Amino acid sequence: MRIYRLGIILLSVVLLSACGAQKKTAKTQPKAEEPVVPAWHTCVIQNALVTVITDEERLSANATMQVVRDSMIIISVIPMLGIEMMRIEATPLELTAIDKIHGQYAKAQYSDLNRQLTPSVNWDILQQICSAELPTGSEKARLVYNYGDERIELVIQYPARKTDVPVKMNAIRKDKYTQIDISRWL
């Protein structure tokens, strides 16, 4: 049951974690005739140590984060023995959380989540977190969020990231899982 709770807390915190980061802003605007070339197209971070601290417990798990810039993010939560227990698939429009242990998944648009969360979650901040492009430039992120009366702290220790490498963006076949309402997890 502790592993299931870890998955649920990690899912909630990853979805909520975007609330603590700040988006970078460019100080100079590129000239209209110069094409803007991103620094990377794909990014993979393997074995990031994710620690979730709540009022009641402290849980840690490894996570792999794969990003295709401005297109797709897959976060795999792997608490033990290399077995993916939970996955979050995100696009600029929606998030899908898959609980592989209990055979369930839930979908939500950012606007659905933002009805319950403050400050709001958005794609740009989630992409920064999952590609280790936080404005601090640090190898460690610490994000704190209050959800009701509960305080949730997320600490991510980033190992070296790999950019412009092949990523495995195979979406989960959802017909193997039962869809539930996202409010059951939040």
Cis bond before residue 166 (omega within 30° of 0): no
| Domain range list for the chain | 2-21+40-164
CATH number for the segment(s) 2-21+40-164: 2.50.20
* pLDDT tens digits along 80-96: 777 889 999 999 999 99
What rounded mean pLDDT belongs to the chain?
78
Q: CA 63, CA 73: separation in Å to the nearest integer?
A: 13
The model carries a pTM of 0.77
pLDDT band at residue 21 under the 50/70/90 scheme: very low
pLDDT band at residue 109 under the 50/70/90 scheme: very high
Q: Which two tokens stand for residue 66?
A: 């794969």
Average the pLDDT over 140-169 and give the result: 83
Average the pLDDT over 19-25 and give the result: 39
The number of C-alpha atoms within 13 Å of 27 and in the hemisphere containing its C-beta is 0
Task: Calculate the CA 83 to chain-centre distance.
Answer: 18
Q: CA 32, CA 57: separation in Å to the nearest integer?
A: 52
